[in-house]
Structure 1
């Protein structure tokens, strides 16, 4: 099994931390990214990571897939390659941009939008305010959600065969998050312009995720 990436959203719906491990499509920094959120390498540089999300432009050309897959632009790599080989790249660089994947700021908004929509749908269908949405699965990935009492949302994307990893998100929140973010006087938890990333927190998160048996090669 494989763990793809981790997102942390604050109570203002902003992504304040991002960490990735295994990805299948290129990712690039977005024009509206705030400092202290991620440490993305350039898409063309050595060891460039990739995103499991395809570009939104290719979603409209998708021939099949579940609603949640189409919303996040998921698909088999072979299918995505066939779609990209259709129209020739435009002179303005649109075709090249689609191969690089979504900018991070758009990707983060997409992830949060899916979480918010599904959470509201679960509550409306159940008719209970205490009903919780914790995860959903497609043929390509599984999304795990853990919400804190202070409004922070921890989102983890993993292999679809993985069991619930909500306990892992809780461990990250009660461990590294409390130790290196909440108790760190240099981190502004209510900032609207700065993320919560710091060396100690990122190292602790990376060490914890890599220690899991389901982390993958």
Structure 2
């Protein structure tokens, strides 16, 4: 048994935090404008380096008045020939066919649809806590303020609702809600910060279900 990934959605249906552990398929880079900043840096669309730092192939004169001369005619010492056979590079893990923003929307759509279906069929007192497929199990914990904590685990795992509650009552309240630098209920930025991510990672890795 193991834990794959964690999503946090706010009341505006936006994914404001993501973290993964034993995920076999790497999430694909999100499209520009498809996700909030400060959610998960590895999938946030990067700006074009040419637009950030200027074209690297053009050179401008230094403002200090100092001229640096480069002599291209100086002979270069050839690199020594490698005698040993190079080690074959490790292939990167497979990448998901969906961009991260589309993936997050699908996860939230599944949660919202199943929650509404359960409430209509069983009444408002019934709660949707998890569902299971042949490859994963989805666990849900929803706060009174509208935040939805979703974790994906191995299908054989028991209910992890208590883990989501611990994340909310522990690291989330400590490093997000009580942090004056984090804008709660914001539609412009996620809630990622170093202390929250490290504390959540430590909590999840300490579980018996985590391998």
If the TM-score is normalised by the length of the shorter chain, which range does it land in?
A: 0.7 to 0.9
Pick the structure with greater CA Rg: 2
Contact 2:140 2:149 in 1 (8 A): yes
Residues in 2 aligned to 1:163 and 1:148: alpha-carbon distance in whole angstroms: 21
| 1:79-130 alpha-carbon deviations (Å, 9 max, x no partner) | xxxxxxxxxxxxxxxxxxxx6421110000000000000001111111x112
TM-score (norm 2): 0.74
TM-score (norm 1): 0.72
1:25 is matched with 25
Please tell me whether residue 14 in structure 1 is matched to residue 9 in structure 2.
no
Residues 194 and 41 from structure 1, CA distance in 2 versus in 1: closer, same or farther, beyond 3 angstroms?
A: closer
Gap runs ≥5 in structure 2: 45-89
Gap runs ≥5 in structure 1: 51-98
Contact 1:41 1:48 in 2 (8 A): no
SS at 1:24 equivalent? coil
Query: How do 1:82-93 and structure 2 match up within 5 A?
Result: none
Query: How do 1:147-186 and structure 2 match up within 5 A?
Result: 147-186=142-181
1:34 is matched with 36
SS at 1:213 equivalent? coil
| 1:60-81 alpha-carbon deviations (Å, 9 max, x no partner) | xxxxxxxxxxxxxxxxxxxxxx
User: Which of 138, 145, 168 matches 2:140?
Assistant: 145
Residues 164 and 194 from structure 1, CA distance in 2 versus in 1: closer, same or farther, beyond 3 angstroms?
A: same
Residues in 2 aligned to 1:20 and 1:47: alpha-carbon distance in whole angstroms: 20
| 1:32-87 alpha-carbon deviations (Å, 9 max, x no partner) | 12211013269xxx89666xxxxxxxxxxxxxxxxxxxxxxxxxxxxxxxxxxxxx
Residues in 2 aligned to 1:201 and 1:29: alpha-carbon distance in whole angstroms: 23
2:210 is matched with 215
2:121 is matched with 125
What do you get for the CA RMSD once the two structures are aligned?
1.8
Residues in 1 aligned to 2:158 and 2:96: alpha-carbon distance in whole angstroms: 30
User: Which of 178, 183, 202 matches 1:188?
Assistant: 183
Residues 47 and 177 from structure 1, CA distance in 2 versus in 1: closer, same or farther, beyond 3 angstroms?
A: farther
Residues in 2 aligned to 1:49 and 1:145: alpha-carbon distance in whole angstroms: 28
4+ residue stretches of structure 1 with deviation over 4 A?
46-50
Larger relative contact order (C-alpha < 8 A, sep ≥ 6)? Answer: 2
| 1:1-36 alpha-carbon deviations (Å, 9 max, x no partner) | 110000000011100000000112231221112211
2:98 is matched with 102
Contact 2:15 2:35 in 1 (8 A): no
